Amino acid sequence: MTIPKEMPSAPALARRLICSRCGSEFGCDLSGNCWCAEETARLPMPVKGEDCLCRACLRKAAAEASAAG
């Protein structure tokens, strides 16, 4: 019986993004440790054609959704 070797853990996969609403640059950690996980707001995934939002735009969108809802 062969014992499989453990796979080394993948390095953090960070990417640089441009906010689809305001154009500011920010980072996203694809390993699950992204700053957005710290936010209390939970919004649906971005609309068609949008990517992630920066912290300020996420908070603004959450406030607008809360006021509308």
Per-residue 3-state assignment (H helix, E strand, C coil) for 21-41: CCCCEEEEECCCCCHHHHCCC
Q: Is the pLDDT of residue 13 over 80?
A: no
Compute the distance between CA of residue 62 and CA of residue 53 in angstroms, rounded to an integer: 11
pLDDT computed for residue 12 by the predictor: 55
Q: Using pLDDT thresholds of 50, 70 and 90, give the confidence band for residue 7.
A: very low
DSSP state, residue 53: -
0.75 exceeded by the pTM? no
Residue ranges per domain, the chain?
A: 14-41+48-68
Mean pLDDT of the 27-41 span: 78
Question: How many CA atoms lie within 13 Å of 51's alpha carbon, on the beta-carbon side?
Answer: 14
For the chain, report the end-to-end CA distance as a whole number of angstroms: 59
pLDDT computed for residue 56 by the predictor: 92
18: β partners: 25
